[in-house]
Structure 1
Amino acid sequence: MTPPTATPPASPTVERAATAVERASAALSRLRRGRLLHPAGRSFAGEMMIWGTPGPPTGVGLLDDPGRYRATVRLSKGTPTPGSWPDVLGLALRLHDDAGRPFDLLVSSSGAAPLLRNLPLPRRCFTGTYSTIMCYRVGPRRLWLAALADPDSVNLGRSLATVAAAARTDTPRLVLAVASAVGPWRPFGQVSIGTQLSTEEDAALAFDPVRNLPPELRVAGPLAWLREQTYRGSRRARGASAQSGGSTATTV
């Protein structure tokens, strides 16, 4: 099944706007000689455990049904600011399912409360709440996904160096959760962070949070459209591919 897209109905105006955003993103990525968004990060092999959604099901089989999957995990700084300075921190997860379709989940540091889960918030510590910022739709319903701090896990610290050190000495974990616009977070699984990938493997990673989705899930709103063009331009400048067809490799 072809993954859903956030691209609005094609019209000359929309196509010109999409081309302009993609070209601008590609140009900026070439100047930066790397990722346009979240250029500084560390990537790891990981594992994702899905327990299933407590309470009413979401309608997304991948979230509602228990399972165990290989994952690729990347923690990053948005700007990036020096050392342990506050920044909008990022967490990118790629779930590799048995059918070879990747599910890319990109979340940013945010608040846990309903009014704050829509806003990217700078912070120092990599242990904390990360949410999708933009909403998803399952039929007529809207939902947000998040990675929350696991109180029983080792602290990730305040820099990419401490994140890497925590992964070397322990197996850091984050709790995966789902919520409506105003409802509480409902934990449905966890992600474990394992062996760090090489610098070359990290540079080769390319995520697509708009197209690499389960078939029941789709992104919504103008932010999703803008994100799609921005990521496409960044990948184009790097010569990378989103591998929307479903690569099961650890890095793509």
Structure 2
Amino acid sequence: MPAPTANPPASRTAGRAATAVVRAAAALTRLRRGRLVHPAGRSFTGEVQIWGTPGPPTGVALLDSPGRYPATVRLSKGVPTPGGWPDVLGLAVRVHTDTDTGRPFDLLVSSSGAAPGLRHLPLPRRRFSGTYSTIMCYRTRHRRLWLAALADPDAVDLGRSLAAVAAATRTDAPRLVLAVASAVGPWRPFGEVSLGAQLSARDDAALAFDPLGNLPPDLRVAGVLAWLRDQTYRGSRRARGATGQSGGSTATTV
């Protein structure tokens, strides 16, 4: 009989770590009685318009081919800090693509810098208009890429608080430009997301995103950061009794 090993197999260790992360996320979610990550936010109906990627195609049909899709959009504060204090701001966009899989595309981006050296880092800021990036990279068949939502200079300013964001949607249709880039290349705009009517607090509370499960078939994420993010969101959804498909309006109002 072979001698027992001093350490468990890697797969068993990873499984135990995953269980610990999920349990910790669930416990913190129950303590907060709400979302573990980005608990303070406002949700809106919206629309995503895809123009197509300039230059070489990404290999992701949703990004490369023009189209219009209804969306659900949520802007949020990460900690959250009071009022207009600096915070890691979040933008979540559920693109209702109506694909054969029945899954939407959940794009989650955080406030960051626009420069290549800063697009991997979540950076606190005061204003909701600005650069948001995916932080973790996506992978296609041939390359790695990052997605972002950039400030539209021709759109109404979103202000420094969630109340200001909501007020902006009552007088205009705020927009952010969607863009794609490599690790060191410039951002290439391929579309825009527009915000419409604000959803109720009940609808906002019911909304749950799955940034790893709700992806186009030709796009995936990989790496330790992606795994950790998946476990955190999974634990938060489980404690709330939500799933990766919970909430979201398909109504187009903008």
Tell me the TM-score normalized by structure 1.
0.93
2-structure distance, mates of 1:243, 1:131: 22
Aligned to 2:220: 218
- Tell me how far 1:209 sits from its aligned partner: 0.4
Residue in structure 2 matching 1:119, options 113, 121, 125: 121
Q: Could you list the per-position Cα deviations for residues 46-72 of structure 1 after superposition, in whole angstroms to 9, with x for gaps in the alignment? A: 000000000000000000000000000
2-structure distance, mates of 1:131, 1:249: 24
Query: 1:158 corresponds to which letter in structure 2?
Result: R
- Tell me how far 1:122 sits from its aligned partner: 0.2
Aligned to 2:3: none
Aligned to 1:62: 62
Q: Is the 8 A contact 2:140 2:218 kept in 1?
A: yes
Aligned to 1:136: 138
Residue in structure 1 matching 2:152, options 150, 153, 159: 150
Q: Are 2:192 and 1:190 equivalent residues in the alignment? A: yes
Q: Is the 8 A contact 1:50 1:190 kept in 2?
A: yes
- Tell me how far 1:24 sits from its aligned partner: 0.3
Query: 2:63 corresponds to which letter in structure 1?
Result: L
Q: Is the 8 A contact 2:131 2:148 kept in 1?
A: yes
Aligned to 1:7: none
1-structure distance, mates of 2:141, 2:172: 40
Unaligned runs of 5+ in 1: 1-9
1-structure distance, mates of 2:207, 2:92: 10
Q: CA RMSD in A?
A: 1.6
- Tell me how far 1:243 sits from its aligned partner: 2.3
Secondary structure at 1:11 match in 2: helix
Aligned to 2:208: 206
Secondary structure at 1:200 match in 2: helix
Q: Are 2:113 and 1:89 equivalent residues in the alignment? A: no
Unaligned runs of 5+ in 2: 1-9
- Tell me how far 1:101 sits from its aligned partner: 2.1
Query: 1:204 corresponds to which letter in structure 2?
Result: A
Tell me the TM-score normalized by structure 2.
0.92
Q: Could you list the per-position Cα deviations for residues 140-168 of structure 1 after superposition, in whole angstroms to 9, with x for gaps in the alignment? A: 41100000000000000000000000001
Query: 2:104 corresponds to which letter in structure 1?
Result: P
Query: 1:220 corresponds to which letter in structure 2?
Result: A
Query: 1:54 corresponds to which letter in structure 2?
Result: P
2-structure distance, mates of 1:112, 1:240: 33
Query: 1:96 corresponds to which letter in structure 2?
Result: H
2-structure distance, mates of 1:140, 1:110: 26
Aligned ranges for residues 235-250 of structure 1 at < 5 Å? Answer: 235-243=237-245, 249-250=249-250
Query: 1:85 corresponds to which letter in structure 2?
Result: W
> Do the aligned partners of residues 29 and 176 (structure 1) sit closer, same or farther apart at CA in structure 2, a change above 3 Å counting?
same
- Tell me how far 1:97 sits from its aligned partner: 1.1
Secondary structure at 2:26 match in 1: helix
Aligned to 2:6: none
Q: Percent identity?
A: 80
User: Size of the alignment, in residue pairs?
Assistant: 241
2-structure distance, mates of 1:84, 1:248: 27
- Tell me how far 1:13 sits from its aligned partner: 1.1
- Tell me how far 1:250 sits from its aligned partner: 4.2
Q: Is the 8 A contact 1:97 1:248 kept in 2?
A: no
Q: Is the 8 A contact 1:101 1:248 kept in 2?
A: no
Aligned to 1:5: none
Query: 1:130 corresponds to which letter in structure 2?
Result: Y
Aligned to 2:5: none
2-structure distance, mates of 1:28, 1:250: 31
2-structure distance, mates of 1:231, 1:195: 26
Aligned to 2:14: 14
2-structure distance, mates of 1:196, 1:18: 36
Aligned to 1:6: none
> Do the aligned partners of residues 28 and 177 (structure 1) sit closer, same or farther apart at CA in structure 2, a change above 3 Å counting?
same
